[in-house]
């Protein structure tokens, strides 16, 4: 397992310090699986201001299509060959087709009341939403649908993470077309198994556990760590599930343990003023013995909060080169308190 970091240094002269020389370090890190590079730079204290949530949320429930008074009136239904009853419903949760689909089997799972503060996303609530999505995946799998290959949950929590609605919801989709980064991981993971006669994910967990620099802890079969080459400006948290190749391999207990870990990570990022995140499932197909199910939790923030400047600029959008504003090892030291 190679953790490669190319150290760089910028020299500049500072006019209001009598042209004193300043040297600023940065690093270009390579993801140990895919070789994707990530910059560690702009070192700053990871602290943001939370907005006035009352002002942000006020009135949004009146037009929210996911609120209980509207969800069954305005959201579409599945055809009978997929979900004969049209939508899946359990307590306050509903699964229906995404009105703006990006694949043939794309659904949205709504849950909870209109607004759930990030720190109120309890393990029970999140596990219930994951289990509900899992019910949808299992039904699709049982029907023998050709898109029942990669079963993915994506989560955009709050607008800075890409959500156009306040109401909590998950993007739930099954596809035979793995998205870019997942496909690159699958290819690299297969190659690693061929070259090393070992599973990359088991080697990664072993190496991270041994060094302890980024490893946060274990909850059941789930192993938590910050990633060596993060995509998020405030780092990324990775959870790898032992012996699980794909989403359908996850037990109810695994889903609860993933939800427990997410709640711990949320509690720590909340202290930094973070109130928004992305979370994606990374899954193999059922036959991908070389792969291990994992999820990545990535907090979302701003480059300039007052101007609303998002944390994705040209470097990330067009080069897919990422910036993280602190060392993942330091971020891990902060998050470890929760584990
Ligand atoms: Zn709502």
Q: What is the DSSP string of 115-181?
A: ---GGG--HHHHHHHHHHHHHHHHHHHHTT-TT-SEEEEEEEESGGGT-S-SS-EEEEEEESS--HH
CA of 95 from ligand 1 middle (Å) equals: 14
Ligand 1 geometric centre to CA of 94 (Å): 12
The mean pLDDT value of the chain amounts to 96
Tokens of 175: 């596809």
CA 114 – ligand 1 centroid, Å: 4
Q: Which of 255, 251, 279 is nearest to 266 (CA)?
A: 279
What is the 115 CA–ligand 1 centroid distance (Å)? 7
How far away, in angstroms, is 260 Cα from ligand 1 center?
Answer: 25
> Is residue 166 one of the residues assigned to a domain?
yes
Rounded average pLDDT over 282-293: 98
Measured in Å, residue 275 CA sits from the centre of ligand 1 at 18
> Which residues, 6 or more positions from 145, have their beta carbon under 8 angstroms from its beta carbon?
82, 105, 174
User: From the CB of residue 273, how many other CB atoms can be counted at a distance below 10 Å?
Assistant: 15
Q: What is the mean pLDDT of residues 220-229?
A: 98
For residue range 43-86, list pLDDT tens digits in order.
889 999 999 999 999 999 999 999 999 999 999 999 999 999 99
Please tell me the distance from the alpha carbon of residue 282 to that of residue 183, in angstroms, as a whole number. 10
Is residue 39 a part of any domain in this protein? no
pLDDT tier, 305 (very low <50, low <70, confident <90, very high otherwise): confident
- Say what the pLDDT of residue 44 is: 86
Instruction: For residue 3, tell me if it sits in a domain.
Output: no
Residue 2 forms part of a structural domain: no
Q: Which domain holds residue 231?
A: 53-338
* Side-chain-facing half-sphere of 34: CA atoms under 13 Å: 15
What percentage of the chain carries pLDDT values higher than 90? 96
pLDDT for res 103: 94
**Per-residue pLDDT tens for 174-221?**
999 999 999 999 999 999 999 999 999 999 999 999 999 999 999 999
- Considering the domain boundaries, does residue 314 fall inside one? yes
Span from the CA of 70 to the centroid of ligand 1 (angstroms): 9
pLDDT for 247:
98
């Amino acid at each position: 397992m190679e953790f490669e970091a190319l150290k760089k240094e910028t020299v500049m002269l500072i006019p209001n310090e009598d042209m004193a020389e300043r040297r600023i370090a940065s690093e270009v890190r390579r993801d140990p699986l895919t070789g994707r590079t990530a910059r560690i730079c702009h070192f700053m204290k990871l602290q943001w201001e939370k907005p006035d949530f009352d002002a942000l949320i006020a009135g949004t429930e009146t037009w929210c299509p996911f609120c209980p008074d509207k969800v069954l009136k305005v959201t579409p239904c599945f055809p009978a060959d997929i979900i004969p009853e049209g939508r899946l419903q359990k307590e306050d949760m509903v699964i229906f087709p995404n009105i703006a689909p990006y694949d043939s089997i794309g659904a949205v799972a709504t849950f909870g009341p209109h607004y759930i503060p990030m720190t109120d996303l309890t393990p029970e609530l999140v596990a219930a939403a994951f289990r509900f999505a899992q019910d949808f995946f299992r039904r699709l799998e049982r029907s023998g649908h050709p898109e029942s290959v990669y079963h993915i949950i994506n989560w955009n929590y709050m607008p800075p993470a890409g959500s156009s609605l306040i109401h909590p919801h998950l993007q739930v989709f099954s596809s035979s077309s793995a998205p870019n980064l997942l496909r690159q991981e699958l290819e690299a993971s297969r190659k690693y198994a061929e070259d090393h006669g070992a599973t990359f994910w088991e080697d990664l967990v072993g190496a991270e556990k041994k060094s302890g620099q980024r490893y946060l802890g274990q909850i059941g079969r789930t192993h938590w760590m910050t990633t060596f080459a993060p995509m998020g400006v405030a780092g990324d948290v990775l959870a790898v599930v032992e012996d699980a190749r794909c989403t359908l391999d996850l037990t109810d207990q695994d889903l609860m343990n993933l939800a427990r870990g997410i709640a711990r990570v949320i509690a720590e990022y909340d202290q930094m003023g973070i109130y928004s995140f992305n979370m994606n499932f990374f899954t193999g197909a059922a036959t991908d013995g070389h792969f291990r199910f994992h999820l990545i939790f990535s907090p979302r923030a701003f480059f300039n909060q007052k101007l609303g400047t998002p944390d994705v600029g040209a470097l990330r959008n067009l080069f897919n080169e990422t910036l993280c504003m602190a060392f993942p090892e330091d971020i891990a030291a902060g998050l470890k308190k929760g584990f």
